[in-house]
Structure 1
């Protein structure tokens, strides 16, 4: 009998390419590493606000480094990641709030689908340069991940409820209590 699995909580936002890389590595090796992986959809905007940090893309040297780093890490870990063509619009203007509330709803009501739906949202924004903010985009991601249209629509209707807003806020606050300042 081997050791009991260790619990690893991954706080993430689909706007973060580094979160995607960490997500894929943890999902890929969780059984080998004997890890009980707990996916925790989080608001990167909330983390940045709490920590006073600026997104790396707003700092010229970090932005330059990040562009090359993401490309190399994607190749190394075989994750099909590339920068969106209109990076600032996608990342800084549109954001991911609706997508992260949707993932919060998935986590609460269909946790078995969270990994697949999260991956599909990352694929949309970081691989295929597609939208993740419009309701039809979120539905398309959920359906491509294997959710039924009816099930996805039911969850989408819940993203503006106080329950989903509060749950995402609580998870983000938990990440901040751990000392997360960016991801």
Structure 2
């Protein structure tokens, strides 16, 4: 492939969920290879000096409305989860240990299950519930990898400050950063 996109995400990010639902069709349409790269969003935000929208009242209110609009526009189910109520790191460790289509399948299953409201990620066995609901291989739960921490630093070095972040890499030219589901149109144009 002459083009590749590094897709940085964290399962705690509802905007990452919205972007993830679009990635498979996007990759096919643009004949681009997408690398799903889990990262630690709170750590990335701290390192980059960013703050969570939940900490700013008006931004939090706006973001909830915006997320609902985006979910409607993209025709995907959406149920808001209160920020800070679940730990995504166990799922990030599994995602980091899987490769290729297995990683994408697992990530989509996690995103769809928690952000549609099918699974409550505050329950202690939520990962097992996702694996059962989505009929994923149970042995995936045993996979563990801490690559998400290295991905966090790689994203920071690429200029990221939040997720979803996309880094477009072509055979010629410098890598180009795009931030947010609302910039996937710009990413699409850059791929063309």
Shorter-chain TM-score bucket reads 0.7 to 0.9
Is 1:98 equivalent to 2:78 in the alignment? Answer: no
Which region of structure 1 is more displaced relative to structure 2, 173-182 or 139-148? 139-148
Q: CA deviation at 1:135?
A: 5.9
1:152 is the counterpart of 2:140: yes
The offset of 1:170, in angstroms, is 0.6
- After superposition, residues 10-159 of structure 1 pair within 5 angstroms as 10-84=7-81, 87=82, 91-107=83-99, 111-128=100-117, 130-132=119-121, 136-149=125-138, 151-155=139-143, 158=144
CA RMSD of the aligned region, Å? 1.9
RCO higher in structure (CA 8 A, sep ≥6): 2
Q: Which runs of 5+ in 2 are unaligned?
A: 164-192
Mapped to 2, the partners of 1:144 and 1:129 lie a distance apart of 9
- Aligned residues between the structures: 163
The alignment partner of 2:106 has SS state of helix
* Partner-residue secondary structure (3-state), 1:37: strand
Partner of 1:7: 4
Q: Distance in 2 between matches of 1:61 and 1:142?
A: 36
* CA contact 2:85–2:122 (8 Å) conserved in 1: no
Q: Which residue does 1:161 correspond to in 2?
A: none
Scaled by the length of structure 2, what TM-score is found? 0.76
Other structure's SS at 1:54 match: coil
Distance in 1 (CA, whole Å) between partners of 2:88 and 2:120 is 10
CA distance in 2, matches of 1:70, 1:45: 19
Give, in whole Å, the separation in 1 of the partners of 2:123 and 2:96. Answer: 16
User: Does the CA contact (< 8 Å) of 1:139 and 1:152 recur in 2?
Assistant: no
- Residue number among 143, 168, 179 corresponding to 2:148 in the alignment: 168
Q: How much has 1:147 moved relative to structure 2?
A: 2.5
| TM-score for both structures, normalised by structure 1 | 0.80
Gaps of 5+ in 1: 159-163
Deviation for aligned residue 1:175: 0.6
Higher percent of residues as strand? 2
Residues 43-100 of structure 1: CA deviation (Å, up to 9, x unaligned) = 111111111211111111111111111001001111212212xx1xxx3143311121
